[in-house]
Amino acid sequence: MTSKSNVADVTKILNELFAIENPDVLQKHLDKYKSALKSTKAIDSMITQMGRKSDTRSASDARVRLNCAQALDTAGKKAKRAIPMLIDIIKNPDEDIQIRTLCVSTIGRMGKQALGVVPLLIVIGQNPDEDDGFRKVCAEALVELGYPKEFSIESSVFPPSSMDCRLI
């Protein structure tokens, strides 16, 4: 298969994924196309799609962005170029909470290459104005990044903001 047809295939796969409304169908497609979603072309396209700014966010926009976030999660550590964009989304309190939550989960699974997000996750975890479920996902991401379990899990207990944010 030529490189040109690979690009066309990835574009077709992404267009299909962006249009899916049913979460179960989406998961089946993500599993089926997992290796294609790890390609540079796919990751770059997802970053572009997620980074698009719109004055009016339609339900369709939200679905595309959510599906995109799930596809980046499927790409795993290969999606490390997406970290700055994921952080921007996590920081934005006006962003859809589902998308923010999925971005935190995705970053949590990226390991050492995502350690720069630790202070942000701690700040969010300490913020009582944030959604409790979102704060819990931030706590879980900290644990995935190597921080002690007592900082999180069920109680969403976070270290003081003055804590030295190094891996223990």
Q: What angle do CA 24, 85, 147 make, to 5 degrees?
A: 80
Cβ neighbours around 128 below 10 Å, total: 6
Q: What angle do CA 80, 30, 104 make, to 5 degrees?
A: 40
In a domain, 161, yes or no: no
Cβ-contact 65, 53 below 8 angstroms: no
In a domain, 163, yes or no: no
In a domain, 25, yes or no: yes
pLDDT of residue 102: 92
In a domain, 160, yes or no: no
pLDDT of residue 3: 47
Number of domains in the chain: 1
In a domain, 164, yes or no: no
Q: What is the pLDDT along the chain (168 residues), one digit of tens a residue?
A: 444 445 568 888 988 888 898 989 999 999 999 999 999 999 998 988 887 765 555 667 788 888 898 999 999 888 899 999 999 999 998 888 999 999 999 999 888 888 888 889 988 888 888 988 898 899 889 888 887 665 543 444 554 444 444 433
CATH code at 20? 1.25.10.10
> Which residues constitute the domain of residue 24?
3-155
pLDDT of residue 166: 40
In a domain, 167, yes or no: no
Cβ-contact 125, 163 below 8 angstroms: no
In a domain, 80, yes or no: yes
In a domain, 168, yes or no: no
pLDDT of residue 149: 60
pTM of the model: 0.78
